[in-house]
Amino acid sequence: MSSTPTSVTVPGPAVPARALKIQSRLRMAATWALIKPYWKSEDRLAGLGLLALVVVLNLGIVYINVLLNEWNRVFYNALEQRDYASFKVLLLRFSWIAAFFIVAAISRQYYTMMLQMRWRTWMTGRFMGHWLGHQAYYRIEQTHTTDNPDQRIADDLRLFTDGALSLSLGLLNSVVTLLSFVGILWTVSGPISFALGGTEWTIPGYMVWFAAGYAVIGSLVAHVVGRPLIGLNFQQEQYEADFRFTLVRLRENSEPVALYRGEPTEQAGLRARFDRIRANWNQLMRYTRRLTFVSSGYAQFAIIFPILVAAPRYFAGKMTLGGLMQTSSAFGQVQGALSWFVDSYATLVGWKAAANRLIDFQEAIRVAERQDLAPGGVRDIEVEHTGKPQNGITIDGLALALPVRAARSAAVGQRPLVAPFSLSVAPGERWLVSGPSGCGKSVLFRALAGIWPYGSGTVTMPDGARMLFLPQRSYLPIGTLADALAYPDAGTVHSAEALQAALRQARLAALADQLDVFDNWALRLSPGEQQRLAFARALLQKPDYLFLDEATSALDEETEGAMYRLMVESLPQAAIISIAHRSTVAAYHQRRLRYVPQDGEAARAAQAGEPGVSYRVVCEA
């Protein structure tokens, strides 16, 4: 078999110009809305205390720089005068100043990192809470309103909190430095006089104006050159996350890929996604090169610029060598403070890209929450708690639909799938749900679980009813076997004896002594073992209503029958509702819910697998 990769096209343009423009927006109000909540949260006192400590340390470092600036003047004057005694004293003074600077710098870095982690911890908890709350994670995946939420929580939150602190503290440091050194520079630079148009002009503190003009010009040029980097960084994060997700998905599905001999196709798909990364990176390189040219040239010329400007006064004998060095140092501090925007631009664009991704993610979560809380429209399906004794599930006028997204809009519409029907399921009843693939059987289960917002009608649940849904492929968390078996409970909720007994009843006795083994059980167990593990989970949870969505599709008929008999015998009072295609499953059910196309033409379309077919439900005894 040839190993040459086949051609695979990854949908979507590599670098859409309109999207790049949108992603490059600053969105400052929305960014502030991301920053503000932590500083009003329950952790604000600790956060504000750490912030105050870091600010004090920043101020201390600025003060030390002021001392160093004065030391420069005295030290170089001593050198010019060949004053050896003062030279020795000044070296000792420098040692003390340097020691305090080192302690302050180390402390500032340490407590800044501590504050970064506290802020990130709080924001991670908040985002995860909203993402998992109202089952927003599920709704987002259904409507595809945002990509790679895992990357946004794990990476973008880290970049956002780290960048916000480093940039804001850097800005504070620049402001304080400017206020501390602008007076020094104004004094030591003195005035400059020149004739222009027959008039004598004098500019007091002329070095301050040169520093301000130099910084303003550099900032404007840096913004014009570097602004596209915001959108490009946004896309780079997205493409990197897509590539990483594809690699993880290949690892998790290694066996079916190997059985299909799908390596060439997978390699081509991975290369196509990596080509997106490379194409976007090439643009990043070009714009970064331009920005680096501006920032590096700006920084290098700033080294000699104050000497050039101050040289006429020095050579005229109006300034000592120490004064020249102090002026150069003060100019560097003032110019550096005014150049915060230029020096931080590369960091700023990366931070703003992360902020924009978090803003989009937060908006997608809010949309999902609104869908869950809305009393009408897409959230007509309701679960009512009656306060009455357990008397079964009542379905009244339930109509099911599928979401339909407009081609050029984020709005989600609905396409009818199942005509309204009513039904009652009493405790202990056994219902079989049957019909052609794609008719909405699984959608019915999702509606009964309260996670399907598309449709209308009312579902009345008895108070305190325990419901358990076993899909065709149950979720098995990475962890110990006990945790995988007891999910969503922790493995410690049940005794080892109860866990082992459930495994033996589900014909998994070989696993009974592995309860404490940590593994990715979804990859280690075969599909049939995973389905039997789900039945063992049902034995532990003892639900009042058990929903089986092709939960025995990977089992042979004899084992399938054994699992159904186990449920019937172990949970005699539980209502069991099953979706299955095998006729042998019918023997374990007394009633049937059958999906049929609405009319003859629809029946033909359904057999041909054509889209847009709607169904009605027939209840059979």
Q: What is the pLDDT of residue 619?
A: 83
CB 228 within 8 A of CB 20: yes
Residue 520, number of CB atoms within 10 A of its CB:
14
DSSP characters over 204-255: TTHHHHHHHHHHHHHHHHHHHHHTHHHHHHHHHHHHHHHHHHHHHHHHHTHH
DSSP per-residue string spanning 115-173 = HHHHHHHHHHHHHHHHHHGGGHHHHHHHHT-SS-HHHIIIIIHHHHHHHHHHHHHHHHH
Domains of the chain: 17-194+202-371 (1.20.1560.10), 379-620 (3.40.50.300)
Q: Are 151 and 247 in contact (CB under 8 A)?
A: no
Looking at residue 610, its pLDDT comes to 58
Contacts of 231 (CB under 8 A, 6+ apart): 19, 20, 21, 22, 23, 24, 353
Contacts of 159 (CB under 8 A, 6+ apart): 350, 351, 354
Distance of CA 32 to the CA centre of its chain: 18
Mean pLDDT in order along the chain per 10 residues (621 residues): 41 46 65 91 93 92 86 84 88 90 92 93 92 81 76 88 89 83 76 70 76 80 79 82 83 73 84 90 86 78 75 75 75 77 77 87 83 50 48 85 65 78 90 87 87 82 86 87 90 92 94 92 90 94 92 92 93 92 87 82 56 76 63
5: nearest Cα among 266, 274, 310: 266
**Spatial contact of 69 and 329, defined as CB atoms under 8 Å apart:** yes
User: Are the C-beta atoms of residues 535 and 567 closer than 8 Å to each other?
Assistant: yes
User: What's the pLDDT at 366?
Assistant: 85
Beta carbons of 211 and 331 less than 8 angstroms apart: yes
pLDDT value at position 482? Answer: 93
CB 215 within 8 A of CB 338: yes
pLDDT recorded at residue 373: 63
d(CA 12, CA 123): 32
Q: Please choose, from the candidates 373, 394, 399, 410, the residue with its C-alpha nearest in 3D space to the C-alpha of residue 454.
A: 399
Question: Which of 337, 29, 312, 75 is closest to 191 using CA atoms?
Answer: 312
Task: Give the pLDDT of residue 372.
Answer: 66
pLDDT of the residue at 9: 40
Q: Using CA atoms, how far apart are residues 269 and 253, in angstroms rounded to an integer?
A: 15
pTM score of the predicted model: 0.66
Find all residues with CB under 8 Å of 112, minimum gap 6, and list them: 54, 165, 166, 169
* CA distance readout (Å), 438 to 442, 523, 608: 9, 27, 12
Model pLDDT, residue 374:
59
pLDDT of residue 194: 67
Quote the pLDDT of residue 160: 92
Of 381, 420, 380, nearest in space to 399 by CA: 420
